[in-house]
C-alpha cells in the first residue's frame, strides 16, 4: 500500500487521523495542469482542422484540374470532328443529303447565270 505523506505533521494514509489524500498534499511540479491539457487539446484541434482544410483544398484543386483536362480533350475532339456525342439518326442523314442536293442546285444556277451573263456581255463587245 502506498503512503501519502502530509506535510508539516508527518501523518500517513495508514494513520487514523488521515482523511483524504488531497488534503495538504503537494502536487508534483512535473505533472501538467488542466490549463496545459486544455492548451494541448486546443492546439491538437487547430492542427487537425488545418490538415483537414489542406486535404480538402488539395482534393478540390485536383478535381478542378481533372475537369479542365476533360473539357480540353472534348474541345479538341469536337474541333477535329472525332466527337460524335449523339450520332446521326435517319432524319439527320436525310437532311444532310437534301442540303447537299440544294447546294448543287444553287451552284448550277449560279454557274448557268454567270455563263449566260458572261456570254451576253461578251457578245455586246
- Boundaries of every domain in the chain: 87-125
pTM: 0.41
* Residue-level length of the chain: 125
Q: Which cell is 19 given?
A: 482523511
Give the mean pLDDT of the chain. Answer: 80
Per-residue pLDDT tens over the stretch 49-63: 999 999 999 999 999
The pLDDT, as a whole number, for residue 2 is 47
Can you tell me the mean pLDDT for 39-45?
96
Whether 1 has a pLDDT exceeding 50, the answer reads no
Check pLDDT > 70 for residue 106: yes
Amino acid at each position: 500500500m502506498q503512503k501519502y505523506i502530509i506535510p508539516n505533521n508527518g501523518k500517513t494514509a495508514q494513520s487514523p487521523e488521515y482523511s483524504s489524500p488531497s488534503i495538504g498534499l503537494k502536487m508534483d511540479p512535473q505533472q501538467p495542469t488542466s490549463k496545459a491539457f486544455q492548451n494541448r487539446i486546443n492546439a491538437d484541434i487547430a492542427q487537425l482542422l488545418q490538415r483537414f482544410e489542406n486535404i480538402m483544398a488539395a482534393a478540390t484543386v485536383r478535381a478542378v484540374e481533372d475537369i479542365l483536362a476533360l473539357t480540353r480533350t472534348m474541345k479538341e475532339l469536337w474541333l477535329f470532328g472525332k466527337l460524335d456525342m449523339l450520332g446521326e439518326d435517319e432524319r439527320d442523314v436525310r437532311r444532310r443529303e437534301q442540303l447537299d442536293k440544294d447546294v448543287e442546285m444553287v451552284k448550277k444556277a449560279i454557274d448557268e447565270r454567270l455563263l449566260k451573263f458572261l456570254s451576253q456581255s461578251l457578245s455586246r463587245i
